[in-house]
Chain A
Amino acid sequence: MADTMTSETTAAEAATHAEGHHTSTGISNEKLAMWVFLGSECLLFGGLISTYMFNKGRIGPDDVGPDDVFDIPFTSVSSFVLLMSSLTMVFAVSSIARGDLRGNRIWLATTAALGATFVAGQVYEFTAFYSEGLGFTTNLFGSAFYALTGFHGAHVTIGIIMLMSLYVMSVRGNLGPERAETVEIIGLYWHFVDIVWIVIFTIVYLFPQ
């Protein structure tokens, strides 16, 4: 099949080929694998969120708790930044589907930059919390909070690395329209990580009690 597809082949055609004929479900193996993997990830974050909710109230009256450290406006802004990165990710996917490689590169870089902004905000937040007396070992709230948000931050970081890898591939000319689906799959991951953050933000920050 590879040799039937010239470099001029549009991504739409590639998708038709990929989805129309190769698999029993019509979804490519890679995309299906990502969906299945994200299903598993739901349980990972489900476990972490449950652990957090189970433990957040288990602190003494004088311990550092959610109310003492959270800076809702700041985290709201960084959450907004992460949400915007989902939008730019959509642009990245649609641009490569159109064959707009330059646009694709711009949107990939923007998405990665927004994600990096979010992670930087998280690092700042962790430092601030730490200086306010909430360390990883301080109490159960601290352990559970850092574990949950840290796992999420690690996921975002991995997403950034993947986006940057795509960017480098694009620069080297290895990311043509025929690979639109690769971008789309990484986009799936990125959206998932964003959605998880909405849940975490709601549960951890907005309803701390």
Chain B
Amino acid sequence: MTITDRTITAPEETLALPAGPTIAHRPLGVFTRPQGSEGWTSWLFTVDHKRIGIMYGAAALFFFLVGGAEALFIRLQLATPNGSVIGAGTYNGVFTMHGVTMVFLVIMPMAAAFANYLLPLQVGARDVAFPRLNAFSFWCFLAGGLLLTSSVLIGGWFQNAPDGGWFAYAPNTGLLFSPSKGIDFYAVGLQILGVASLVSAINLIVTVLNMRTKGMSFFRMPVLTWMLLITQFLLLFALPVITVALFLLMFDRLWDANFFNVEAGADPLLWQHLFWIFGHPEVYILILPAFGIVSEIIPTFARKPLFGYHFMVASGIAIGFMGWGVWAHHMFTSGVGPLSVAAFSVSTMFIAVPTGVKILNWLATMYRGRLRFTTPMLYAVGVVSMFTIGGLSGVTHSIAPSDTQQTDTYYIVAHFHYVIFGGALLGLFGGFYFWWPKAFGYKLSEAWGKASFWVMLIGFNFTFGPMHILGLQGMSRRIATYRGDEGFAFWNMVATIGAFVIAVGVAMFFWNVYVSTRNWRRAGRPDVGPDPWDARGLEWMTASPVPEHNFDEDIQVDRLDHFWHRKYGVDENHRVVRAAPTSEVAHDGSNTNVHLPSPSYWPIVLGGGILLVGYGIIYNLWLAAAGLVFLVASIYGWILEPADDPDAAGHHDDHDDGDDHGDPDSNGGPSGNGESASAEEPESESAETEEEAATIG
């Protein structure tokens, strides 16, 4: 097999940048690029999208425990009337941090974990477009997350935690009404997280647009790729808006500006508009990745292709567009005027249509399928069922007059937990079970997984189901306690018990991880194979865990669900028959001559610099200035970093080892890529970094 029918599109060159001669090695004589791919340092300096994805997932799970603990404190405080488990001040910090943590430090990075790990694989690429920037995104995210979370401890337990709600309405967040450092932590933390997400969004958009393998046209991309791509576009356009809002807030707090100073004539609704122009697309940023995951899982375990692929994609795009036209439905009682209320009321109703299309398509995919209820399938069907409840209560909010009764009550709390927990989080957990064998080479225990699912689902419904009732009975959100004669006691106790049931379910998930890992090790680490679920996407076409170079050879995609169609064909009676064993179709990861980008010190160094600037802005602007100098210096270090290290050990030579995987139908040849010496070329990607960094400073 040769590749003469193509010009020079060897697979590695999807990574190859239009490079000139490499910059002189070790220009400063200080840093070379780090070496080696073993040990913990290899994780710190990695630029491998898969490792970065795993780190995103691990960090998100850590923050999930933090946010979950905060949720339990909320439920303990509200379990009985006149609760006194935590005081009102601490309560305000706890519910704010719960919201901020779950949105920005759990759901978003979990989605980022899947996006990082899967996007390049699903489009058949070697890595993302800018591997070092990808690593930077992660460390920047971690810096923001740690900065935010540290507010809980600094200066005493919840003394400096943000306490203005995740929505942080002005003017309550002004220095006059929130004199603690909490809001500063909120503003700076979210800015840093915004930089991380923005860089990541640019990177992933370029990856999907530019690095698709041959034949991977847009309408051959899996629905998950589509949903993640739409999510990145939403991030791209939504984040600058919250960036502006946070800058205004910081200017008010740091330098006495007047943006939310009512005495100077400001209108606090400006904050609400800016926040929700970001905040509503943010809702779809949270849910669309889960929609994508469900769209991967259900076809696999129905043994049918996804019903209405084009409509699924189109409805996702429609949600992405319509999501921009509904923000003021968060403001029906704010006094935006009846015409605005009417317009946003109607637009909000109609966003239910594309969402409903998705639900019905999932049901149609299940129809006449051969349904196997493995753990991932349970989660996926759980999303279909639970998200529907959240969607229906969402429609009732769009009825603006009735929303004046519902908004800021527990009915809303119930609604968005059915959407974010019942939709996004269940979907992401389903994704964990589904792609765990792909990332780690072994499956999580099905028995524990199913048990954990049911415990979580039951706990979830007992926690948030009653909140519909509480809200309609008039219980407001964000109240630290309620009177005994208001009639809220019973359902609050039910909800609290439910919350602890969820906690048990989550503990079972972590136990599952532990037990499954242990059993796998004891069994001598058996190979789970490339495709343990008999699935459809390209990611299953390579070994598990995915080797560092992803695919042994370039893949020529000729249709949607390419991998599945390589495994199966149709006989003359239109019956599905096995065309080739998986082992023949899938790569075994043995190609060792792929030249990959070297690890780099700079992403984590830059992340540290950002942390310095962040604390500096909060506590001492001189520290911030020092951090900025450090940051700028690091950016130049980044730019001047040698593209590759001549001394680096462990880099494969570029030679054709002729390892043929014997795939007769493939256009791709054996991994002969002799001409494809590709080095990541650092200079030109630095342009973006510099501006990003400037946005921080």
Contacts and interface: CB of A to CB of B under 8 A. Distances in A.
B2 interface: no
B408 interface: no
Given A34-B687, A37-B688, A43 B257 contact: no
Contacts of A24: 209-212, 216
Given A1-B678, A40-B237, A40-B239, A25 B687 contact: no
A60 B206 CA distance: 48
Contacts, number: 194
A14 B240 contact: no
B19 to A, nearest CB: 5
A117 interface: no
Interface stretch (A66-74, A124-132, A172-180): A172-180
B650 interface: no
Interface residues of B, number: 67
Nearest to B695: A44
B503 interface: no
Contacts of A28: 17-18, 210, 684
Contact of A1 (B129, B237, B243, B677): B677
B130 A33 contact: yes
A46 to B, nearest CB: 8
B210 A14 contact: no
A139 B19 CA distance: 51
A interface secondary structure, majority: helix
Interface stretch (A47-55, A81-89, A105-113, A196-204): A47-55
Q: B9, B266, B675, B684 — which one has the most chain A CB atoms within 10 A of its CB?
A: B684
A147 B274 CA distance: 16
B485 interface: no
A143 interface: yes
B211 A36 contact: no
B580 interface: no
A30 B16 CA distance: 12
B497 interface: no
A18 B16 CA distance: 9
A33 B688 contact: yes
Interface stretch (B20-28, B62-70, B176-184, B395-403): B20-28
Interface string A16-29: 01111111110111
Given A1-B19, A137-B257, A144-B259, A29 B690 contact: no
B660 interface: no
Given A1-B13, A158-B694, A182-B683, A140 B258 contact: yes
Contacts of B256: 136-137
A2 B684 contact: no
Interface string B681-693: 0011101101100
Contacts of B639: 165
* A-B residue pairs, 10 tightest by C-beta: A18-B18, A47-B244, A178-B20, A44-B240, A23-B210, A58-B265, A30-B684, A143-B257, A43-B240, A29-B129
Interface of A: 1-5, 7, 14-15, 17-25, 27-30, 32-34, 36-37, 39-41, 43-44, 46-48, 51, 54-55, 58-60, 136-137, 139-140, 142-144, 147, 151, 154-155, 158, 161-162, 165, 169, 174, 176, 178-179, 181-182, 185-186, 189
10 contacts: A2-B677, A22-B14, A23-B210, A33-B206, A37-B202, A41-B240, A55-B259, A137-B257, A140-B266, A185-B684
